[in-house]
Amino acid sequence: MRIASLWLLLLPILASGQNGVNYKISGDYILATIQLNQPKAQIDSIVKSFGFSELEKIETQKSELGWVVKSRTTSILVLSQNKKKNTKELPNAYTMGDINSVDIQAQTRADYGVNSFKQRSVFTEGSQIRFTLNAHQKAKQVYLSGTFNGWSTLATPMRKTANGWEVALPLEAGKHVYKFIVDGKWLHDPQNNKREDDGNGGYNSVYFVANYVFDLAGFATAKKVSVAGSFTNWQPLNLLFNESTNSWRGVLYLREGTHAYKFIVDGKWILDPANSVVRDDGSGNKNSFTSVGDTFYFRLPGFLEAKKITVAGDFNGWNFDELTMLRSKQGWVLPYVLPAGNFQYKFQAFGKKIADPNNPHACGTGDFRNSVLAVKPNKTFVLRGFANAKVVALSGSFNGWNQDGFTLENTNGVWQISIFLPPGKHHYKFIVDGKWMIDPANELWEENEYKTKNSILWVEGPGLN
């Protein structure tokens, strides 16, 4: 089954160009939201481009291009079409130049985040985050749109108050990008200093839901206290404030994982005196360490005659001098916190770097063979019918189309591997004893530049569910 390549390129998308048409993907459908607060001639032209004859009778008409009316208000018309239909191009051709691919995963990716406001307009109240927009009392409809609702133009209406508009919704810790839609017009938050280019000559506002507190007791006479760490690329962050005579304190969002850090007190770098977790960085310096998230355990059975075993991977810059494992009765173990994702790693024993002998999933060959670890895996790939194959691997857009792939495990003649995939569209293939092939159990594929096809899949997430 061939899927139209253009629809797949728009996963997820948001376009809000001068023509007043927004596109986005929701589940199996592409939605086209048409703003109706523009000249009638322009609206008629847009409606006709979607295969309808006129706006006034649109609910009773059938689009020649397969679009249907999903909803309609006085200011917004939403049309939908199944994205799996074999359509070669968008019907509203003149908006093509306005369409910008929006990678929500990339938009919300951040190692850390601190909020800054001219006047506070977003409030964390327990498990709810309350967004407010003062003024605009004469507006008829105001919506909140952002990465948390897939940039929907209709999903989050705001409530009118004496001072303006507000809405509260539950948001997880992390970075959230948003805008207001006031009677069809997109506005960034005028009170929020944190903003990013929206790609259309304007700005998106950014709010971080905090999940971590740095606290340094004492130093009451210090003039300035900062914190720096691996999450800031060791650039000082002026986060901490002396809220009392007993403590310097700073609240921020810190991504899941393990982080090295130090405090800087009036220019002097110091370890956290309240944190006993201290490690050498391999260059003679010691750093304090903290973590956010669930703990994973690296385990290496045996090797009891070794005096020291270390582990390293792409999660710590392959620094084999930093993470020393602890001796146990069965071998060696190291508790470590990693965020959701796929990681490569090795152990170092007796001066040699070795892949994990108990992990069937690996990448590379020879001295460059690394073990592969999936933290919080959410997708299992299965290949049946190749019970006698010697090596089966998985390669795709998620691992840079590595020619060696991630090796699968053979269990009773069935090859499989579980990995983590972020929300969105992914391309992939299996490699069976060196031969590349699409997934025979997946009917969805897309042609590639070599005319050899790639299997495709979607992972649900913001704007995709």
27-68 residue pLDDT tens: 567 778 887 877 888 888 888 888 888 888 888 888 888 888
Mean pLDDT of 62-90: 73
- pLDDT of res. 200: 75
Amino acid at 145: S
Is residue 157 within 8 A of residue 142, CB to CB? The reply is yes
pLDDT band at 461 (very low <50, low <70, confident <90, very high): low
What gap in Å lies between CA 338 and CA 298, rounded to an integer?
A: 11
* Distance between CA atoms of residues 456 and 397, nearest Å: 10
pLDDT on residue 393: 98
pLDDT tens-digit profile of 183-203? Answer: 989 999 999 999 999 877 889
Q: How many CA atoms lie within 13 A of 225 on its CB side?
A: 22
For residue 391, give both structure tokens: 């090596």
Q: What is the pLDDT of residues 270-292, one digit of tens each?
A: 999 999 999 988 788 999 999 99
**Residue 115 in this model has a pLDDT that exceeds 70:** yes
The CA-atom distances, in angstroms, between 395 and each of 14, 22, 65, 367, 437 are 29, 34, 36, 20, 10
pLDDT tens by residue, 320-378: 999 999 999 999 999 999 999 999 999 999 999 999 999 999 999 999 999 999 999 99
pTM of the model: 0.74
Provide the β-strand partners of residue 313.
Answer: 345
User: Which has more confidence, 230 or 99?
Assistant: 230
Tell me whether strands 128-134 and 122-125 are parallel, antiparallel or unpaired.
antiparallel
pLDDT bin (cut points 50, 70, 90) of residue 19 is low
* pLDDT tens per residue, range 251-265: 999 999 999 999 999
Q: Give residue 10's pLDDT.
A: 38
Average pLDDT of the segment spanning 384-402: 96
Q: Identify which has the larger pLDDT, 327 or 24.
A: 327
Mean pLDDT of the chain: 87
Mean pLDDT over 219-244 rounds to 91
Residue 83's pLDDT band, with cuts at 50, 70 and 90, is low
